[in-house]
Amino acid sequence: MTAQRGTVLVLGADGFIGRHLAFGLRDSGWHVLACARRTARLDRMGFETLKVDLTDPEAHDPAFWSSRLSSVTHIVNSAGVLDAPEPTYTAVHVSAPEALYAALPDAQGLLISAVGIDGSETAFARFRHAGEKIASDHDVTILRVGLVLGETSYGGSSLARTLAALPVFTPVVGDGQQTFNPIHAADLARAVDHLLRHPPGPGPHDIGGPETVTQDGMLHSLRAWFGLPPTRLLRLPVGLAKGMGRIGDAMRLGPISATSVAQLQNGVLADHARLTETLPEKPRGFSTFLAARPAGTQDLWHARLYLVRPALRIVLALLWLASGLLGLFLPRADFLPLIPNTALSDAALVAMARLGGLLDLALAAALFRGWRPRLVAALQAALVLSYTLAFTILAPGLWLLPLGGLLKNLPILALIAIHFILEDER
């Protein structure tokens, strides 16, 4: 049995990298205190947890942390946001970590940062630099991580799988020759375990895998891993890809963002050799860990559904937009005959149609903006069920219309259910 190494606070433990670090460090003998905004699943996974919203001003006070972390000997800060308003960037990357480091001056700390932020003009890079400055001031080790792949995926790794699994063609940004040296999440966790016990100084230090691949080579290898036939490359002009990224940011389309486009455009190549020499267990190369296990059906399903997720949201938004406009502007003479012989007056039916139109447009706006997607999915289902019940009572004959009528609500409910499921990324 591995000897207990101490108590480590993992900040951002519910994220893709954070979960792998929490599991890896626990397996290496650490007592892990998993800190995240949502901790219910981490609780069920057997972790001691600390529920904290880093955007809460209370978390920007050192006293908040010192009163809760008396047993913590080490800190791993893997919290971060890719696309967010400036106050959120500031809170997550600067204010909360600064308070945490100040509250535990004797704890050995390590910050998970990102390769490729030097020279980048994105907000993500700017606030990552600000976070590194705070870490350096508190003698926290700064570990700049390249592209992280693993048994699961999130963000950039999910996007890479998705692009590799597309039918007909494989899109790449620019010429596709940008270079990457991916590191497996389990190898990263082992490296963090060693660096916590043998701190190399503030840095920053790069870490990645020993094998360099191009963007198109990586996608080709992932496609072969899925067992899919080769396709032709579709080289997206950088300007077009950037435009798609800006639209993705405005609509919060998840995998499509300015940050993800910038990463693909510039490549993510970690200068890892100096740090890797100090590690007792060297990270594996991309080809080695890709061949270590077969791709399962769930891997291919996720890859193919990842872009279906934003597409489904747009389709539902257009549906509610059309429904709302019809509810507001369709002449009464066009819909009142469909609801004959009811106890309600024509004026009441028209008022219901106009109110329903406003509700539909509100849902369309929320979907286009990407506001609280799982809540909005639940509201959609509730509204469709309400419409179905109301019209079943007022005009049951609508179930028998030749083009579907109320029957169309059943597949719409199924799509909303799928939308609800796909919006749960963690």
- Least trusted range by pLDDT, from 165-179, 246-260, 381-395: 246-260
**In a domain? residue 158:** yes
Over residues 370-380, the pLDDT tens digits come to 899 999 999 99
Indicate whether 330 and 281 sit together in one domain: no
Mean pLDDT, the chain, integer: 92
Task: Quote the pLDDT of residue 1.
Answer: 42
Indicate whether 218 and 282 sit together in one domain: yes
**In a domain? residue 299:** no
Indicate whether 164 and 64 sit together in one domain: yes
Give the relative orientation of helices 297-306 and 215-226 as an angle to the nearest 10 degrees.
130
Average pLDDT over residues 247-254: 77
Task: Quote the pLDDT of residue 401.
Answer: 86
Average pLDDT over residues 47-51: 97
* 3-class DSSP state of 15: coil
Indicate whether 335 and 282 sit together in one domain: no
**In a domain? residue 177:** yes
Indicate whether 331 and 405 sit together in one domain: yes
Indicate whether 202 and 278 sit together in one domain: yes
Residue at which a domain ends, from 240, 269, 294: 294
**In a domain? residue 301:** no
Average pLDDT over residues 146-150: 93
Indicate whether 119 and 256 sit together in one domain: yes
**In a domain? residue 342:** yes
Indicate whether 332 and 385 sit together in one domain: yes
Which domain, by its residues, includes 96?
7-294
Residues 6+ apart with CB under 8 A from 12: 18, 35, 36, 77, 78, 79, 80, 112
Residue 66 has pLDDT above 90, yes or no: yes
Task: Quote the pLDDT of residue 90.
Answer: 96
Residues 6+ apart with CB under 8 A from 296: none
Residue at which a domain ends, from 269, 294, 319: 294
Indicate whether 138 and 281 sit together in one domain: yes
The CATH number of the domain holding residue 272 is: 3.40.50.720
Residue at which a domain ends, from 250, 268, 294: 294
Over residues 94-125, the pLDDT tens digits come to 999 999 999 999 999 999 999 988 877 778 88
Indicate whether 125 and 237 sit together in one domain: yes
Indicate whether 54 and 138 sit together in one domain: yes
173-174-177 Cα angle (round to 5)? 95
- Least trusted range by pLDDT, from 13-27, 129-143, 166-180, 233-247: 233-247
**In a domain? residue 304:** no
**In a domain? residue 369:** yes
Q: Are 15 and 79 in contact (CB under 8 A)?
A: yes
Task: Quote the pLDDT of residue 403.
Answer: 78
Indicate whether 347 and 395 sit together in one domain: yes
* Domain count of the fold of the chain: 2
**In a domain? residue 302:** no
290-296-298 Cα angle (round to 5)? 120
